[in-house]
Amino acid sequence: MELAGGEVRHWFGTAARGLVAAVAQVGEHDWARPALGEWDVRALVGHTSRSFLTVESYLDVGAARAGDAGAPAEALISVVEYYVRGREVAAGPGVAERGWVAGAALGDDPAAAVGEIARRVEELVGSSPDDALVRSPLGAMRLIDYLQTRAFELTVHGLDLVHALHRPVPSAMHDSVGPALALAARLTVDAGGGEALLMQLTGRPVLGELPQIV
pLDDT (mean) for 17-23: 97
What is the distance, to the nearest Å, from the Cα of residue 102 to the centroid of all Cα atoms in its chain? 15
- State the average pLDDT for the chain: 91
User: How many other CB atoms are found less than 10 A from the CB of residue 165?
Assistant: 17
Residue 13 has pLDDT above 60, yes or no: yes
Phi, psi of 92 (to 5 degrees): -80, 165
34-36 and 133-136: which strand pairing? unpaired
What's the pLDDT tens digit per position in 90-147?
666 678 899 999 999 999 999 999 999 999 999 999 999 999 999 999 999 999 999 9
- Between the alpha carbon of residue 76 and those of residues 30, 83, 132, 148, 198, the distances in Å are 41, 14, 12, 15, 30
Residue 209's pLDDT band (boundaries 50, 70, 90)? confident
Domains of the chain: 5-176 (1.20.120.450)
Phi, psi of 13 (to 5 degrees): -65, -45
Phi, psi of 88 (to 5 degrees): -70, -40
4, 10, 53, 14: which is closest to 158 by C-alpha?
14
User: Hey, is 204 helix, strand or coil?
Assistant: coil
